[in-house]
Structure 1
Amino acid sequence: MCGKGQLVTDLESGEIACNKCGLVSSDRLQENRAEWRTFDSESNDRSRVGSPTSLAYHDMGLATVIGKANKDSSGRQLDPSMNSRIQRLRTWDFRTKAHSSTHRNLLHAFNELGRLKDKLSLSDAIMEKTAYVYRKAQEKRLVRGRSTSSILAAAIYAACREMQASRTLRDVANATNVKRKAISRSYRILVLELDIKVPLVDPMKCIAKIAN
């Protein structure tokens, strides 16, 4: 970086760049609230450990998985009785990942959101915002009795509007295969019930999109 400018964040792309020379410092927003561990007792340096948490996972990225290898810590094969016991634990582990209708709904919605990330070129910041809006909608029981797809599409559109990303209702409808009318109806419900503050659209971003 030139050292003369300041780092600015483009919430649409997730890039962090210098506003003077344009050098991209980072191509994504990272989760900074992770666990820390000190490896050197003579220094205060700390290193991040563990995966970052994310609202865009139904379990917030905190779940653990029992491995498929039927071996102990020394690499030896498990005896038949222990192998059978571990298999039962795997079965219960799988069942408890989505033990309620709420968790199953989040799992379905966020799997779909992950599929739409590349299709709509959504940044990590927009993904997190979408997941936050969807979770709030679920807390207020706005998903009940309505299509998961239309609420998710509306949450994506709301997140894009809030973060001033140039995604139109048509863009979201084409990517999600949900009718614009249904998305628009769900979007109005989210804005009213969740008190979402939608800023005015920046016309310069629309011009840039058309030019590209």
Structure 2
Amino acid sequence: MASLTCPRHPDAHLVEDHRAGDIICPECGVVVGDRLVDVGTEWRSFSNERSGTDPSRVGAPENPILGTGDLSTSIMVGFGASESSQGLANAQRKNTNNTERQLNQALGIIRDMSERIHLTRPIQDSAAKVFKQILDSKALRGRSNEAQAAACLYFACRKEGVPRTFKEICAVSRVSKRDIGKCFKLILKTLETSIEQITSADFMSRFCGNLNLHVSVQAAATRIAKKAVELDLVAGRSPISIAAAAIYMASQASTEKRSAKEIGEIAGAAEQTVRQTYKLLLPRVRELFPQEFKFDTPIEQLPSS
């Protein structure tokens, strides 16, 4: 944390957003760092107790997801047991080993993907719990372990209020967006749950931070996107496309201009998609900007596409 500073406000005291896993400058809203590490101890110290043993040194804690401490019944067979009993015991051992192996593999995949896109530990744990539920239900039998793990991670991000795009999850996995999407729909159906719809506002802070845009540009882009939806200008467009187009419009009107290509690369949207969505906003552009916005480029001189 001490080595991180805002390029615009080097003396600013940075703020930690533990939910999103970001380190933010409170002066301009720029995301300075995108991964937090918990430096606190993971165990209590019992140094004042009289016992000569140190209770804090007991090894790794039991992982409740793996279920190694459960009270399930194991089938044991002794000498002279019938063939049916032996077969039942063998089948149980095989099934248990396969389940544990599949679960361990998935937890490793979730951890690896999370680290590559800087997701916090609570999100990893949430994804792991969802995978365990899905594995026990056998609802996704036949789907690849990686597709299931990726879908669980996407679900956990949505559930925790820090959504990532399908393209971002695809970028750190070896499965297609189509496969992840199918698994995600099955997860919703199996868990009999629903999650809040994502909006362009969910991505605005991260996209603008990665583009190094001032908080005033972010505020304008957020307002543009929200107003565009209210006016029904972007029907059928994804929240990501709307967010990208709004950022493009706000930046072009400010001193911190960013191209549609730059924004598309950050948002995971095609440059042409950003431009097409932007063109849908132009006819009502005067209604979209907040009144207090300070224009560097007048509305009349904004790009036509």
* TM superposition score category, shorter chain reference: 0.5 to 0.7
Which residue is 1:163 aligned to? Answer: 160
Which residue is 2:300 aligned to? Answer: none
Cα distance change on mapping 1:53 and 1:168 into 2, 3 Å: farther
Match of 1:113 among 105, 110, 113: 110
* 1:34-61 Cα distance to aligned partner (Å, 9 max, x none): 7x6744348xxxx8554345557x4679
Cα distance change on mapping 1:11 and 1:185 into 2, 3 Å: same
Deviation at 1:205, TM superposition (A): 3.3
Aligned counterparts of 1:31 and 1:181: Cα–Cα separation in 2 = 41
Which residue is 2:205 aligned to? Answer: 208
Deviation at 1:156, TM superposition (A): 0.5
Match of 1:197 among 180, 185, 194: 194
Note the 1:1-150 alignment, pairs <5 A: 10-13=18-21, 27-28=37-38, 38-41=46-49, 50=58, 51-54=60-63, 58=66, 100-150=97-147
Aligned counterparts of 1:126 and 1:54: Cα–Cα separation in 2 = 16
Cα distance change on mapping 1:181 and 1:29 into 2, 3 Å: farther
Structure 1 runs not aligned, ≥5 long = 1-7, 20-25, 62-95
* 1:112-143 Cα distance to aligned partner (Å, 9 max, x none): 22221221211001000000100000111124
Structure 1 or 2, whichever has the larger Rg, is: 2
Deviation at 1:105, TM superposition (A): 0.3
TM-score (norm 1): 0.60
Cα distance change on mapping 1:41 and 1:209 into 2, 3 Å: closer
TM-score (norm 2): 0.43
- Residue type of the partner of 2:184? Y
Q: Which has the higher contact order (CA 8 A, sep 6+)?
A: 1
RMSD after superposition? 3.7
Whether 2:179 is the aligned partner of 1:182: answer yes
Which segment drifts farther, 161-170 or 124-133? 161-170
Aligned counterparts of 2:45 and 2:41: Cα–Cα separation in 1 = 16
Structure 2 runs not aligned, ≥5 long = 1-15, 27-35, 70-92, 211-305
